[in-house]
A and B are shown apart, each in its own frame.
Chain A
Amino acid sequence: MIRTYISHHPLEGRIPLEPGIRAVDHLEVPRRQAIVTVMAADGEETAVAAALSTMSEASLRFVGPGEWLVVSQSETPDGLVRSLSLVLADTAYVLDQSDGRIVLRLSGPNARRILAKGVAIDLHPSAFAIGAASNLLCGHISVNLARTGENEFELIVARSLAESLFDDLRLMGREFDLSIDFSG
Chain B
Amino acid sequence: MASLIHCPHCGIRPRQEFSIRGDASVTRPAPEASDEAWHDYVHLRSNPRGRHQEHWHHVAGCRRWLVVERDTFTHDVFSVTDGAAVAREGGR
Q: Which residues of A contact B (CB under 8 A)?
A: 63-65, 67, 120-122, 134-137, 142
Contact = CB atoms under 8 A, between A and B. Distances in A.
Contacts, number: 41
A64 B60 contact: no
Contact of B17 (A63, A64, A122, A137): A137
Contacts of A122: 11-12
B75 interface: no
If over half of A's interface residues share one DSSP class (helix, strand or loop), that class is named, otherwise mixed; here it is strand
Contacts of A136: 10, 13, 17, 60-61
Contacts of B14: 120, 137
A65 B9 contact: yes
Nearest to B14: A120
A121 B11 CA distance: 8
Contacts of B11: 121-122, 134
A64 B9 contact: yes
Nearest to B17: A137
Given A136-B17, A137-B16, A142 B10 contact: no
